Amino acid sequence: MTTTAHPDTEITQRPAASTPRRRFSWGKIAAWGVMVIFLLITLFPFYWMLRTALSSNNALATDPSSLLPVGLNTGGFERVFGMQDVETAISQGGSGASINFWRYLLNSVIVATFITVVQTFSCAMAAYAFSRLRWRGREIVFLIFLGSLMIPQIFTLLPNFILIKNLGLVDTLLGVMLPTLFISSFAIFFLRQFFNNISREVEEAALIDGASKVRVFFTLVLPLSTAPLATLALLTYMTAWNEYFWALMVSYTDQSRVLTVALGVFRAQAPGTGPDWSGLMAATLIAAAPMLILFALFAKKIVNSIGFSGIK
Amino acid sequence: MSTATTSTRSAPVRRRRKDDTKLALLFIAPASVGLLVFLVWPLLTGIYYSFTEYTTLTPPQWVGLANYQELLSDPIFWTSLRVTILYVAINIGVQTVVALVIAVLMQRLTQSTMLRSLVLAPYLVSNVVAAIVFLWILDTQLGVFNIFLQWIGFDPVSFWADESWVIPTIALVNVWRHMGYTALLLFAGLQSIPGHLYEAARTEGAGEITQFRHITLPLLRPILALVLIMTIIGSFQVFDTVSVTTQGGPADASRVLQMYIYQNAFAEYEFGYASALSVALLLILMIVTFTQYWLSRAGHSDLD
């Protein structure tokens, strides 16, 4: 990991009010008890997803309360990935309708990746202009960008839908991406804070050596900001991956359907007997997995950046 | 020009600094296009549409305040507003208390990043995933929570199909997804309270509860206000969970404003009326924001 100074590491590592730690107390045990209960509530649904995904629908109906998978099998996952023939799927409680899961997964990856790369770069450029370049109207334009944070999503959804429709981009991946492809005012605000803290001396030394401001941005500012850029990229990826409302509006067919929307469709495909819970849980698990894996890898960075993003 | 005066006044280093307007315009170009086309323009056209009769087949036709008059006498609008406010109240009330408890416990018990990461886990999954998981856990017949309720001697509850349960249920599902995130925001705020205040209080014999009431709560107030306003604005925009689980039912019991807007736009193709509803929601959010801002100005941090 980089050793770049991160504003939060200082705060989070500062010891809290020092308590006499060794002392045994009932209060502390009760406090831990409450904490454990909260943790159970937090984590139980994840376990239940896995447990149900590995169960068979028929066994679930007879033994719904077992803490371990019942009728252990991977049928749920097979149905999600379309690896089961229709008859087996129906006999195991699936709808038998084909679901193009790989396609949705690919669509989600394309959308989230494009948005993350383009948006982070475009916002880094803007943040640099607001932080390090000198031009008239800088403060006013920045205030306008900041003010746009106040516009609620619902308000832009309908006009944006009409715009995308007029552009002929409904039900295309580009249509799903466009509204958030170039801009997140939050990202600009977030990065500007970091760029402001980069030492002026280093920048001026580079400028005296004849480097242009563009060069300074690419060879100095961006490399010095890898930590915040990575954090921001992660948060952006997560937001794009989890987006539902807009995607639901613009995508109708497999060619632009992303995972979140596909999950809703999958849930609505319940066969006559009741939902295919085992298949649904397998699907939600697969939809959540990329985020959980990314999180497992970068947990510390994300956790430390949350305090920063919210408070400062 | 101002650049000229600066360069004559100061050292050679300063002389190199010039006006970067051209480069700056180039650098803010992509973000500005995004801002103007997908935020500012929709804001303006949305307001315009709200004064029109606009179905997808014909171009918008100016009807003045007709949509707003319809809105004021539309019982479904008022029901959806009431449902939305009920949702926000339950969601925010429970979430703030739970998040505050978690944040204080984390601060007093452990500095473990591992624990903080675990608490954040639900925030990583989408609303859709959270909705489907709880649809299953709270299922009337096979849901494990109802089996647990029966085991401790209660009747099973049809959480998703009972008019009085459906909004609390949706609110609590979203509390589950967001409580860890809110707790971490509050935790960051708690960390900035100087430890010596607690030490001083303890030497004077103050207990945990007194410390919480007289140190933690007052000093956390500004951050608490900020977090509250963010979460209230966020929760007014509830849609995903309702869309995946109940679609607004049973009857109109979970038809939140956004659901009503969506149905007007995409089931009835009444874009004009849907836009007027959006403007109403925007006005409500503005009122909430300004009230909150005004209230939090009235209570600056005692640290300053």
pLDDT digits (tens, 9 = 90+) for A221-253: 999 888 889 888 988 999 999 999 999 999 989
Q: What is the pLDDT of residue B19?
A: 78
Specify the CATH class of A102-258 in words.
mainly alpha
In this prediction, residue B226 carries a pLDDT of 81
User: Is the model more confident about B85 or about B57?
Assistant: B85
* Cα distance between residue A89 and residue A282, in whole Å: 14
- CA-CA-CA-CA dihedral for A229, A230, A235, A236, to nearest 10: 60
Report H helices in A148-276. 153-166, 173-181, 185-197, 200-208, 213-216, 222-224, 226-242, 245-250, 259-268
Cβ contact, residue pair B109, A31, below 8 Å: yes
B1 Cβ contact list (under 8 Å, min separation 6): none
pLDDT in tens, B6-47: 444 444 444 445 678 899 999 999 999 999 999 999 999 999
Q: Is B23 on the interface with A (CB under 8 A)?
A: yes
CATH 1.10.3720.10 residue ranges of chain A are 102-258
Report the sign of the C-alpha dihedral through residues B129, B135, B138, B143, in that order: negative
Interface touch B42/A310, C-beta < 8 Å: no
Q: Do A152 and B19 make contact, defined as CB atoms within 8 angstroms?
A: no
| Partner-chain contact B35 A295, CB within 8 Å | no
Q: What is the pLDDT of residues A124-147, one digit of tens each?
A: 999 999 998 989 999 999 999 988
pLDDT of residue B227: 86
Contact of B278 with chain A, judged by CB distance below 8 Å, is answered with yes
State yes or no: ipTM above 0.95: no
Contact A155 B46 (CB under 8 A): yes
Could you report the per-residue pLDDT of A281-312, keeping only the tens digit for each? 999 999 999 888 988 888 777 777 766 554 33
Q: Which residues contact A81 (CB under 8 A, 6 or more apart)?
A: A101, A102
Nearest CA of chain B to the CA of A16: how many Å?
6
Tell me the pLDDT band of B191, cut-offs 50, 70 and 90: confident
Q: How far apart are CA A266 and CA A98, in angstroms?
A: 10
Q: Which chain A residue lies closest to B194 (C-alpha atoms)?
A: A17
More confidently predicted of B49 and B223? B49
Structure confidence at residue A204 (pLDDT): 86
Q: Give per-residue pLDDT as tens, A32-62.
A: 999 999 999 999 999 999 999 999 888 887 8
Q: Is B252 on the interface with A (CB under 8 A)?
A: no
Residue B75 has pLDDT above 50, yes or no: yes
Fold of B75-296: MetI-like fold (1.10.3720)
A165 pLDDT more than 50:
yes
- Tell me which residue of A135, A239, A132 sits closest to A192, measured CA to CA: A132
Please tell me if residue B46 touches chain A, with a CB cutoff of 8 Å: yes
Task: Please work out, in degrees rounded to the nearest 5, the angle formed at the alpha carbon of residue B137 by the alpha carbons of A303 and A286.
Answer: 55
Domain ranges of chain B: 75-296
Give B212: exposed, middle or buried? Use CB within 10 Å, 0-12, 13-18, 19+: middle
Q: Is B108 close to A19, i.e. CB distance below 8 A? A: yes
**% of chain B at pLDDT higher than 70:** 91
Out of A82-96, A225-239, A272-286, B77-91, pick the least confident. A82-96
**Average pLDDT along chain A:** 84
Q: Is the pLDDT of residue B3 over 70?
A: no
Long-range pairs, A204-211, Cβ under 8 A, ≥24 = A204/B13, A204/B16, A207/B16, A208/B13, A208/B16
pLDDT in tens, B249-284: 898 999 999 999 999 998 989 999 999 999 999 899
Taking residues A164-193, what's their average pLDDT?
93
Q: Note the pLDDT of residue A2.
A: 38
User: Is B59 in the A-facing interface, judged by CB distances under 8 Å?
Assistant: no
- pLDDT, mean over chain B: 87
pLDDT of residue B107: 87
- State yes or no: pLDDT of B291 exceeds 70: yes
pLDDT digits (tens, 9 = 90+) for B109-140: 887 888 888 999 999 999 999 999 999 999 98
CA distance A86 to A107: 25
Under an 8 A CB cutoff, do B126 and A42 touch?
Answer: no
**Which among A154, A244, A275 has CB closest to B240?**
A244
In chain B, residues 200-219 whose CB comes closer than 8 Å to chain A: 208
Who among B39, B108, B126 is closest to A156 (CB)?
A: B39
**CB A99 within 8 Å of CB A266:** yes
